[in-house]
Structure 1
Amino acid sequence: MNVSRIALVTGANQGLGRALVEGLAARLDPADLVLLTGRDRRRVTDAAAEVTRLPGTRARVEGTVLDVTDTDAIARLAEELRARHGGVDIVLSNAVARLLPEESQSARADEFIDVSNTATHTILRRLGPVLRPGGRLLVVASSLGTLGRLDPRLHHLFDGASLDQVESAVESWRAAVHAGTAEAAGWPRWLNVPSKVAQVAAVRAVAARRRDRDLATGTLVAAVCPGMVDTATSRPWFSDYSQAQTPAEAASAVLDVVLAEHVDPSLYGELIRFGKPLDWHGGVPPVEQDRLLTP
């Protein structure tokens, strides 16, 4: 079995995902392999070639086509990783659908939920079992992923929930968006809030079942908040970017967690921001984003 480290990054053609690949390629060893994934074959191939040519690149970089909304494709990739390499060592689930403030939230709900949530659930289910001992599986979320960001009426759907229950809550939310009943039930108009809470809840659900075994083998399953990052996806939502990080800066902090020699038990299964866990029950529902969506 190949004992070199295998890393996989989703949504890696540009922005934070691309920076994560570049950082891994620079910080891993020459015998290690970084898989840069995205939906478009040409963009994936070009991006992998560009990272390979960077002067700081040490590890091997390969482009792999992966549409994270294709659950069967994720399952096939997991099986391929198991068969070829005995599993995977680093999984960074980073893919997100770009959404602009002027776009209809309800019209884009299916795409947004499929990319951010259904894909996250599938990655946890399929790639979690092939994560090698000592590995890292991180879902890129945000500080909006704490339970306090939701109306208290919705807390019971995610607090202490199993992965099946999180999936059910997400599908109920999706149905309510389409039925026009979501706001009356307490769901925020901005899709990103419940989506991020659900992502973190899914990670917590999986981590709760794996915790003892993973900590015994130095394995980390967690969500991560990279902080404000100046990307094409996030820029339209904020008027002040003076404190924003470049993708490379944000990636560096995430990779410090990924490549830490030892796993801090206080980080396991949590939402991590700059190396510290955020309070799952903390936060308040954001109002500014909903204000942006008010006609």
Structure 2
Amino acid sequence: MSKIALVTGANQGLGFALAEGLARRLGPGDVVYLTGRDAARVARARERVSGAKADVRAHLLDVGDADAVEEFARELRNRHGGVDVVFSNHYLRTVPQDVPAEVIDAYVDVNNLGTTRMTRAFLPVLRQGGRFVVVSSSLGRLRELPEGLRGRFDGARTPEEVDAIMLAWRDAVREGRAAAEGWPGFINIPSKVGQVAAVRALARQRRADDLAHDRLLVAVCPGMIDTASSRPWFDMTGAQTPEQAAVALLDLALEPGFDPRLYGELVRFGRVLSWS
């Protein structure tokens, strides 16, 4: 059976490296969907793919549009019978000059609600042996939050509960209450914790069935990558290229079998990062 793969946020950076890497490592008859929310940029990215063995198809997908995400999942189920690899990699870029209250609505909608939209739509069509990988960060650990906030995420049992926490945080940022409530000023931290918490909540629901069918749901930290998203925030000394960072993620998604201890966890270079 042909393998079907999908990458969100794939027109540049790590997303493009993942899509190109999948296209090179999969074979004839397999399909890689290179997706993003700007049709022209997605089309240009498709033209830049080199060395592809699999069929690479550009597809417009805005993870902020729940109907579009659900429709694409139905399309892949009807066309291919499901999907084998999903890299949920989309990210709304910010810069230090941005005012958090002015960008927080779009930031949460894409980076957090977009993640749960993807899991809600595509996990049900993930075939046996499938891999669903949420690209996150080592900042997505409870240790990055003040102790008083950790229980909100650690106690969340469903992705809907996590979404509610993220929306409450969004409102606090928008209304200028976040600092008084103890939230970090760097909005990337609560957002990444929310991503990992959503994966962990889903894993509680799905673990037994997924492991019985060789399906992996996991959040990953790819390590520091020299990209346009990272440069304004971090020192890039020693940072990986997107192509270098993609290798460990592609290995996780494509190599047969996996350590069940990775299931539902945040993983960096094949090792679990402690949640707490």
Please classify the TM superposition score into its range, dividing by the shorter chain length. Answer: over 0.9
1:25 and 2:23 are equivalent in the alignment: yes
Cα offsets for 1:85-118 (capped at 9, x unmatched): 1111111000101100111112111111111001
Determine if contact 2:216/2:263 at 8 Å carries over to the other structure: yes
Map of 2:123 onto structure 1: 128
Map of 2:47 onto structure 1: 49
1:104 and 2:99 are equivalent in the alignment: yes
Determine if contact 2:131/2:215 at 8 Å carries over to the other structure: yes
Map of 2:199 onto structure 1: 203
Name the SS for the 2:14 alignment partner: helix
Map of 1:288 onto structure 2: none
Shift of 1:50: 2.1
Query: In structure 2, what is the Cα distance between the partners aligned to 1:160 and 1:88?
Result: 31
Map of 1:176 onto structure 2: 172
Shift of 1:250: 0.3
- List structure 1 segments (4+ residues) > 3 angstroms apart after TM superposition: none
Name the SS for the 2:101 alignment partner: coil
Map of 1:35 onto structure 2: 33
Query: In structure 2, what is the Cα distance between the partners aligned to 1:242 and 1:154?
Result: 32
1:251 and 2:249 are equivalent in the alignment: no
Determine if contact 1:9/1:20 at 8 Å carries over to the other structure: yes
Paired letter, 1:166: V
Give the count of matched residue pairs: 275
Determine if contact 1:109/1:177 at 8 Å carries over to the other structure: yes
Query: In structure 2, what is the Cα distance between the partners aligned to 1:270 and 1:78?
Result: 24
Name the SS for the 2:127 alignment partner: strand
Shift of 1:160: 3.7
Query: In structure 1, what is the Cα distance between the partners aligned to 2:259 and 2:85?
Result: 17
Q: Which moved more, 1:201-210 or 1:156-165?
A: 156-165
Query: In structure 2, what is the Cα distance between the partners aligned to 1:4 and 1:97?
Result: 32
1:158 and 2:192 are equivalent in the alignment: no
Shift of 1:131: 0.6
- Identical columns (%): 55
Determine if contact 2:100/2:174 at 8 Å carries over to the other structure: no
Alignment of 1:138-287 (within 5 A): 138-161=133-156, 162-238=158-234, 240-281=235-276
Query: In structure 2, what is the Cα distance between the partners aligned to 1:21 and 1:206?
Result: 25
Name the SS for the 1:30 alignment partner: coil
Cα offsets for 1:169-208 (capped at 9, x unmatched): 0111011111111111111111100000000000111111
Cα offsets for 1:250-276 (capped at 9, x unmatched): 011111111121021110000010010
Where does the alignment leave 5 or more consecutive residues of structure 2 unmatched?
none
Determine if contact 1:215/1:263 at 8 Å carries over to the other structure: no
RMSD: 0.9
Residue in structure 2 matching 1:7, options 5, 12, 15: 5
Query: In structure 2, what is the Cα distance between the partners aligned to 1:41 and 1:171?
Result: 29
Paired letter, 2:166: V
Determine if contact 1:157/1:165 at 8 Å carries over to the other structure: no
TM-score by length of 2: 0.98
Shift of 1:18: 0.3
